[in-house]
Homo-oligomer: A and B are copies of this chain.
Amino acid sequence: LNFADRLIGKVRALGHPLCLGLDPHLAHFPDVFRHGAMAVDAPGTVDAVRGFLWTVLERAAGKVAVVKPQSAFYEALGWRGVRLLEETIAHSRDLGFLIILDAKRGDIGSTAEAYADAYLSDKVPAPVDAITINPYLGLDTLKPFADRCLAYGRGIFTLVKTSNPGSGDFQDITVDDGPFYWKVATALQPLEAMLAGEQTGWSSAGAVVGATYPDDAIKVRELLPRSLFLIPGYGSQGGSAGAAVTSFVPGPAGLEGGVVNSSRALLFPPSVRADSSAADWDTAFDNALDQAIGELATAVGNG
């Protein structure tokens, strides 16, 4: 089944578009989840991260449609971290989540084929449902990913307008009558058509559009009316729930059009101190999760 159809189906059923970002950033770990000094090459470090993530996943199961592991934080733990990424994908799937791997990959020719096979094909033990990719190298470098989406029912989210302060350095350079990222969005239209879902009309050729630039998201929606948007920047980066969904359009269960990610604000709530107990963390996580779900449900008209 088409990825966009699967994702939108789950989002409609839950009534909100929250995506739970899995950023196991060691520096933010509360003491109660730490094992010793957390050195990168200590096996106990990965055990500690697994314990933390499994707690997160099990508390969020059934409440959120999709999780987004951030590859960088797993790669930062070496090969044991990458093994934990595969375990995270498998455990998330067992708990009923869809999985978007945030890896921002991009390369040419048979190297792009290798990345696409590594994450989106059934050739590997732990494929994900969708991956983030970088368009800078050109459309021929996106095609291998799109081909796997068609063959295996997977999705891609191509970087269009990112949420960081410096995203304008290149993405906003004026070309003809608008910023460069309009050119990128326009160039993605054939992929949008190629990967459109039959059930919902939404396309598995998605785009990354930051919540911190809500007016830009409206413009990208004009250019890509059927593409799912992966929207980072809500929560700790400062984007509000309302700003995150400016690109959404009316659907059968409220406004829809993609998913809104929150990572740090949920995993490491500000109320948790280094010496907080496990029960304190549980409560803070549940409260942060319920608050985000409530804000986004309200923003899409289901509050």
Residues of A within 8 A of B (CB): 23, 25, 40-41, 70, 72-73, 75-76, 78-80, 82-83, 85-86, 102, 104-112, 114-115, 117-119, 123-126, 134-141, 159, 162-171, 173-175, 180, 183-184, 187, 237
Q: Hey, which chain B residues are within 8 Å of A115, CB to CB?
A: 72, 75-76
Q: Is the Cβ of B169 less than 8 Å from the Cβ of A73? A: no
Q: Hey, which chain B residues are within 8 Å of A165, CB to CB?
A: 138, 140
Q: Is the Cβ of A141 less than 8 Å from the Cβ of B164? A: yes
CA distance A184 to B112 in the complex (A): 22
| Nearest chain B CB to A262 CB, angstrom units | 14
Q: Is the Cβ of A171 less than 8 Å from the Cβ of B136? A: yes
Lowest 9 A-B CB distances belong to which pairs? A138-B166, A140-B166, A79-B83, A108-B164, A138-B169, A72-B114, A76-B118, A82-B82, A136-B136
| Nearest chain B CB to A75 CB, angstrom units | 5
CA distance A142 to B126 in the complex (A): 30
Q: Is the Cβ of A118 less than 8 Å from the Cβ of B170? A: no
Q: Is the Cβ of B170 less than 8 Å from the Cβ of A114? A: no
| Nearest chain B CB to A49 CB, angstrom units | 13
Q: Is the Cβ of B138 less than 8 Å from the Cβ of A170? A: yes
Q: Hey, which chain B residues are within 8 Å of A173, CB to CB?
A: 175, 180, 183
Chain copies in complex? 2
| Nearest chain B CB to A124 CB, angstrom units | 5
| Nearest chain B CB to A193 CB, angstrom units | 17
| Nearest chain B CB to A238 CB, angstrom units | 12
Q: Is the Cβ of B104 less than 8 Å from the Cβ of A105? A: yes
Q: Hey, which chain B residues are within 8 Å of A124, CB to CB?
A: 40-41, 76, 78
Mind listing 17 A-B residue pairs with CB under 8 Å? Answer: A40-B124, A75-B115, A78-B82, A78-B124, A79-B79, A79-B85, A102-B107, A104-B105, A104-B134, A108-B162, A108-B167, A137-B159, A137-B162, A137-B164, A137-B167, A138-B168, A138-B170
Known: A70-B111, A115-B75, A175-B175. A123 touches B40 (CB 8 A): yes
Q: Is the Cβ of A136 less than 8 Å from the Cβ of B78? A: no
CA distance A162 to B237 in the complex (A): 32
CA distance A136 to B80 in the complex (A): 29
Q: Is the Cβ of B139 less than 8 Å from the Cβ of A108? A: no
Q: Of all chain B residues, which has the CB nearest A24?
A: B114
CB < 8 Å: which of B73, B134, B183 contacts A134? B134
Known: A72-B118, A124-B78. A167 touches B180 (CB 8 A): no
CA distance A140 to B173 in the complex (A): 16
